[in-house]
Amino acid sequence: MRLAVLSDIHGNLEALDRVLEDISSRRIRTCYFLGDAISYGPEPDLCLGRLRENNFYCVLGNHELAIVQPETKKYFNPPTREHFDQSRRLLSDHSLEFISTWPCLRTEHDMLLVHGCPPDSPVRYLFEVQDDELSRIISSMDQFIAFVGHTHELELVQCRGNVMQRRLLSRGVYSLDADRVLVNAGSVGQPRDGDNRAKYIVWDQEKLELEVCFVEYDIHKTVRGILDRGFPDYYAQRLR
């Protein structure tokens, strides 16, 4: 089975729509989303609508968690908290209900899916985890592979016995040969790896292959939308 795994759309409808077209062209029917559909970008409600319409299996990002559990907003810095309230006001009741159904993690098809760090944290970044602890986390998983997001950067971590190897990912196909694997799927709507194209992963379970997909989209349209919403200019500059 071939699966698509997406993360961190952040209200960027232009990027998401081009990614959905790319997925459709590959005849992939089963898709997973690792959280953070909202904030930063101009169309959070429409992005949630696309996920719902296309029957994505979703897990909570830290931005959705702040809606489900408002007390977790304290973990955002003050400017982000203020912007979060701007973005929150754009969400329909239907979207709020949709978010409320998302779990913190999913385990299926020999995969673990979580926004931040396994086994179940939507808020902890991988770069906050020392290598020895990360090796223990990955090696103790019941599933072969974990998919995460949150950092907006692509990364592959493979564990063979007591040896862990970490590497950044670029566009292309990667064959996996390890006991346990963790993959950071990057970001559809706001990459932070120096390449502003939308990113997502295709996972071929039978071949044990990852394909890292880069997708062009109309960045300027998203930038105009951010500025028209009155969102901070910083969020537009990140995309340029």
Q: What percent of the chain is modeled with pLDDT above 90?
A: 90
Q: How confident is the model at residue 42 (pLDDT cuts 50, 70, 90)?
A: very high
Quick: pLDDT tens for 64-90.
Answer: 999 999 998 888 888 888 888 888 999
Over residues 13-29, mean pLDDT: 97
pLDDT for 156 equals 98
For residue 223, the enclosing domain spans: 2-237
The CATH number assigned to the domain holding 180 equals: 3.60.21.10
Over residues 124-147, mean pLDDT: 96
pLDDT for 83 equals 87
pLDDT for 79 equals 84
The tokens for 94 are 């239907």
Look at residue 7 and tell me whether its pLDDT is greater than 90: yes
Whether 40 and 63 have beta carbons less than 8 Å apart is answered as no
- Average pLDDT taken over every residue of the chain: 96
pLDDT for 159 equals 97
CA distance 195 to 87: 25
Look at residue 115 and tell me whether its pLDDT is greater than 90: yes
Q: Give how many domains the chain has, as a whole number.
A: 1
SS3 225: helix
Contacts of residue 234, defined as CB under 8 A and 6 or more positions apart, other chains included, come to: none
Over residues 34-51, mean pLDDT: 98
